[in-house]
Amino acid sequence: MPAIRRADEKLRDVSRRMILDRTASLLVRQGYGTTSLRDIAQACDMKAGSLYYHFESKDALVEEILTEGVNRVESAVQKALDAMFDAAPLDRVRVAMEVHLRTLHDRSDYASAHIRCFSHVPDDMRRRLRRTRRSYDAVWAGLLEAAQAAGDIAADVDLLTLRFAIIGMLNWTLEWRLPSGAGPEEMADRFYRIAFQGACNA
Amino acid sequence: MPAIRRADEKLRDVSRRMILDRTASLLVRQGYGTTSLRDIAQACDMKAGSLYYHFESKDALVEEILTEGVNRVESAVQKALDAMFDAAPLDRVRVAMEVHLRTLHDRSDYASAHIRCFSHVPDDMRRRLRRTRRSYDAVWAGLLEAAQAAGDIAADVDLLTLRFAIIGMLNWTLEWRLPSGAGPEEMADRFYRIAFQGACNA
DNA sequence: GTCTATAAAGTGATAGAC
DNA sequence: GTCTATCACTTTATAGAC
């Protein structure tokens, strides 16, 4: 009966995925400490005890979501970059901004849950998440170094500050309602224009 | 005995202020939901019940902190702007960035507590805080409009996007360790250079 | 002004029925 | 796989002693 077993596993995975999805959404809105297992269970049309069939603790569930949040952004950005490996360095930066912002505002809440909850999860979880982040940080450091080496970013611009600035303006969009009519791609283009041409230059 | 009454009131105010200070610090590190009254009491060398002499509820205490957080930033920025009312529009913007960032990173944690906890406090509190924010938002909207009207910001730059970008890069610095050696003022200057001259231009 | 004691409700987690 | 029932603990908040 491998077919039946496979069907069972698939059903289990579907439930598991639903729990992850809905918990991510709760974490974005309520934060880590304010979201209880009973809240989560209710959002999943379940009872709190049933969650332990799928996850061994609240923190294991939360950590899986926040980890997947970074990984989704990194792999989306990396995939887009791989498809344009020979493009101009600044074009690669612009695309990375677009994909980062689009992933942050897509229908799933994994990336936003990470951003909203990172600083308030227990210390040991945050330590592990920091390690997961490093790989994505390296992608950005490499992008900006390449652009500066090519002479496309002024030599006197500090790349760490520039990285802070770009990631900061992108991530902070979670705190606003984006202007209606301007999707993530349009917003990313406007941010790119500001950060690289500057607001002063026509 | 008005002297004695005044001394009593002063002592009461000192305790109250200490509670506010230390709770702000806890809120930054632990978030709204994870910070309990026992945590707060312990940080104040008190017992939980004693806090109710000074504040009528946990939420009243938290709301006072987060409200003061915005107000401190706004009045610091407004005071600096008042002292240079005839300066060039972009100089006023640069100073506003510096004061905003300096207040965010000063020894007290009111402003950072606001930023870190805003999205996770109860709905009705957040609604009131949003109203408090509006006044500060208007300061920035005015600053940028004046600069664009003077021709110092390119006509095709969307001012709402620019405001998102500036506030975003400034507030996001709470999530990084600032480069050692670069204080808030230095960082604000670098951000100003990026946002207004652009990273491309030497 | 701070304490102790306690109420009333909520928390993460486990055991065992189905 | 989900339920019910429950444990042990924590939570906000109150009452009354000092």
Q: Is the distance between the Cβ of B124 and the closest atom of strand D smaller than 7 Å?
A: no
Q: Do A197 and B198 touch (CB under 8 A)?
A: yes
Q: Do B173 and A168 touch (CB under 8 A)?
A: yes
pLDDT at B149: 98
Is the model's pLDDT at B108 over the cut of 60? yes
Question: Which residues from chain A sit within 8 angstroms of residue B36, using beta carbons?
Answer: none
- State the Cα–Cα distance between residues A163 and B191, nearest whole angstrom: 11
Question: Which residues from chain A sit within 8 angstroms of residue B35, using beta carbons?
Answer: 33
pLDDT-derived band at B2, boundaries 50, 70, 90: low
Q: Is the distance between the Cβ of B75 and the closest atom of strand D smaller than 7 Å?
A: no
pLDDT digits (tens, 9 = 90+) for B134-161: 999 999 999 999 999 999 999 999 999 9
pLDDT digits (tens, 9 = 90+) for A107-132: 999 999 999 999 999 999 999 999 99
Is the model's pLDDT at B174 over the cut of 80? yes
Q: Do A32 and B33 touch (CB under 8 A)?
A: yes
**Whole-number mean pLDDT of chain A?**
96
pLDDT-derived band at A3, boundaries 50, 70, 90: low
**Whole-number mean pLDDT of chain B?**
96
Instruction: Using the structure, give the distance in angstroms from the CA atom of A129 to the C1' atom of C16, rounded to a whole number.
Output: 36
Name the residue with tokens 């809120």: B27
% of chain B residues with pLDDT over 70: 97
Instruction: Using the structure, give the distance in angstroms from the CA atom of B92 to the C1' atom of D10, rounded to a whole number.
Output: 50
Q: Do B199 and A156 touch (CB under 8 A)?
A: no
pLDDT at B3: 59
Q: What count of CB pairs under 8 Å joins A to B? A: 152
- Strand C: positions under 7 A of a protein C-beta atom: 1-6, 10-16
Q: How far is B8 from chain A (nearest CA, A)?
A: 37
- State the Cα–Cα distance between residues A79 and A77, nearest whole angstrom: 5
Is the model's pLDDT at B12 over the cut of 90? no
DSSP states of chain B: -HHHHHHHHHHHHHHHHHHHHHHHHHHHHH-TTT--HHHHHHHTTS-GGGHHHH-SSHHHHHHHHHHHHHHHHHHHHHHHHHTTTTS-HHHHHHHHHHHHHHHHTSS--HHHHHHHHGGGS-HHHHHHHHHHHHHHHHHHHHHHHHHHHTTSS-TTS-HHHHHHHHHHHHHHGGGSPPPTT--HHHHHHHHHIIIII-TT--
Crossing angle, helix B89-104 and helix B110-117, to 10 degrees? 90
> Domains in chain B, ordered, with CATH?
2-197 (1.10.357.10)
Provide mean pLDDT across the span A172-187: 94
Provide mean pLDDT across the span B17-25: 98
pLDDT at A5: 63
pLDDT at B202: 77
Question: Which residues from chain A sit within 8 angstroms of residue B31, using beta carbons?
Answer: 31-33, 119-120
* B89 in Cβ contact with B150 (< 8 Å): yes
pLDDT-derived band at A4, boundaries 50, 70, 90: low
Is the model's pLDDT at B1 over the cut of 70? no
pLDDT at A148: 98
pLDDT at A11: 82
pLDDT at B9: 73
Q: How far is B15 from chain A (nearest CA, A)?
A: 27
